[in-house]
Amino acid sequence: MTISSFIVSAEVAAALAAGRPVVALESTIISHGLPRPRNHGAALEFERMLRDAGVTPATIAVLDGVPNIGLDDEGVRRIAEDDLAKASVRDLPLLAASGASGATTVAATAHLASLASIRVFATGGLGGVHRGASTTFDESADLGTLARTPVTVVSAGVKSVLDIAATLERLESLSVPVVGYRTTVFPSFWLTESAFSIDWSVDTPAEVAAIMRAQDALGHGQGIIVANPIPRELQWDPVEHDRVLLEALSAADVAGISGKAVTPFLLGYIVEASEGRSLEVNLDLARNNVRLAGEIATAWASLSADLA
Ligand code: PSU
Ligand code: MN
């Protein structure tokens, strides 16, 4: 008996076979990172933005045990409306064996994207090292996965709820390149900047494609993080940001939240405490990442065609 380990939608398979640009999109941001009902509209909007730019979207989730690379409208509805498990890489075999469904994190989405030979992926913010990780060991599997998964992830840095300095240190240890898009300051998700600088910056999608090509040629198997800051005029008010952030961290502490529940708890708390203002910023930065990922995938497709 042959069991197919994953399904690539006809639309995505056709685009890949023809060498047309494809961008992977994660489902945890939809199921656990954004509140209903805005999450459903956001999932559809990200897909539409890519199609309008001539890029094929591949939203990824596990449905009834099967990793799906590219969802139909019903699949998108399910990740937005059903109560799906949050699935990282280690959960994939368990979902598969039990026939359960799950929304994939950055780690699981990147892993599945690379199985399907998709090279570019847009998210909101990457997971990272949590504050207090020196005692809790809470470090997102996103980091370790990118150390062995050749996918370029466009993200607005990492959320300021994390330990940004430790996250950047870990990425250095794991040999994952971090490239600022038109900046040398690492962004902090809702804010254009953080206190941390990055060594490398590029100005065009073609430069990112060239880095991908060079990495392949050097035999590296890791991913690349493109840090794409939200434009300053769209960022969250830094004063409100700092206040709500401290509140959220102490609420998580008081409620005894740990493990994979931490990130969804903090995001939900912050949306409520900011009366939705952080949500608008979250959507804007995600759109900004989807747009750039589409441009990078397009540059990658044309570079690959030139070299073929
Ligand atoms: N950043 C967001 N929204 C999210 C996440 C990150 O703005 O929903 C999700 C991503 O799926 C990321 C995951 O991979 O949180 C990281 O969770 P953890 O810290 O439990 O690894
Ligand atoms: Mn964690």
* Active-site hit among 47, 139, 159, 295: 159
pLDDT (0 to 100) of residue 219: 86
User: 1-118 is classed in which CATH architecture?
Assistant: 3-Layer(aba) Sandwich (3.40)
Please identify, by atom number, the ligand 1 atom nearest to the C-alpha of residue 124: 7
CA dihedral 157, 178, 146, 104 (to 10 degrees): 20
Q: Is-contact 197 287, C-beta < 8 A?
A: no
- Which ligand 1 atom is nearest residue 28's CA? 11
Q: Does domain 120-308 have CATH number 1.10.3720.10?
A: no
Confidence of residue 1 (pLDDT cuts 50, 70, 90): very low
Q: How far is residue 161's CA from residue 129's CA, in Å, rounded to a whole number?
A: 10
Ligand nearest to the CA of 263: 1
Q: Which one, of 196, 191, 125, lies nearest residue 156 by Cα?
A: 125
Measured CA distances, 188 to 19, 223, 227, 266 (Å): 34, 20, 9, 15
Residue 86: active-site member: no
What DSSP state is assigned to residue 29? I
pLDDT band at 274 (very low <50, low <70, confident <90, very high): very high
Q: Average of pLDDT values for 257-275?
A: 93
- Hey, what amino acid is at 167? T
252 CA from centroid of ligand 2 (Å): 13
Task: Give the chain's end-to-end CA distance (angstroms, integer).
Answer: 36
CA-based nearest residue to 227, from 163, 147, 145, 167 = 167
Q: Which residue has tokens 């199609």? A: 51
Q: Output the six-digit token pair for 254.
A: 């008081």
189 touches 158 (CB < 8 A): yes
Atom of ligand 1 lying closest to residue 262 CA: 20
Q: What average pLDDT does range 50-68 have in this prediction?
A: 98
Q: How far apart are CA 159 and CA 30, in angstroms?
A: 16
Distance, CA 14 to ligand 1 centroid (Å)?
30
- pLDDT tens for residues 111-169? 999 999 999 999 999 999 999 999 999 999 999 999 999 999 999 999 989 999 999 99
Q: How far is the CA of 30 from the centre of ligand 1 (A)?
A: 10
Q: What whole-number distance in Å separates Cα of residue 92 and Cα of residue 88?
A: 7
Residue nearest to atom 18 of ligand 1 (CA): 140
Q: What residues contact 187, with CB distance under 8 A and at least 6 apart?
A: 156, 157, 193, 194, 227, 228, 229, 230
Pocket of ligand 1 (CB under 6 A): 26, 28-29, 32-33, 105-107, 124-125, 127, 140-142, 159, 260, 263, 267
The reply to whether 1-118 and 120-308 are identical in fold is yes
159 tagged catalytic: yes
pLDDT tens for residues 169-227?
Answer: 999 999 999 999 999 999 999 999 999 999 999 999 999 999 999 999 998 899 999 99
Domain ranges of the chain: 1-118, 120-308
Whole-number Å distance, alpha carbon 41 to ligand 2 midpoint, is: 27
Mean pLDDT of the chain: 96
Q: ∠ at Cα 21 (234, 121), nearest 5°? A: 50
- Element at 170 (helix H, strand E): helix 164-173
Give dist(CA 274, CA 190) in Å, integer.
12
Per-position DSSP letters for 217-284, written without gaps between them: HTT----EEEE-PPPGGGSPPHHHHHHHHHHHHHHHHHTT--GGGHHHHHHHHHHHHTTTHHHHHHHH
* Dist. CA 121–CA 152, nearest whole Å: 6
Q: Give me the amino acid identity at 104.
A: T
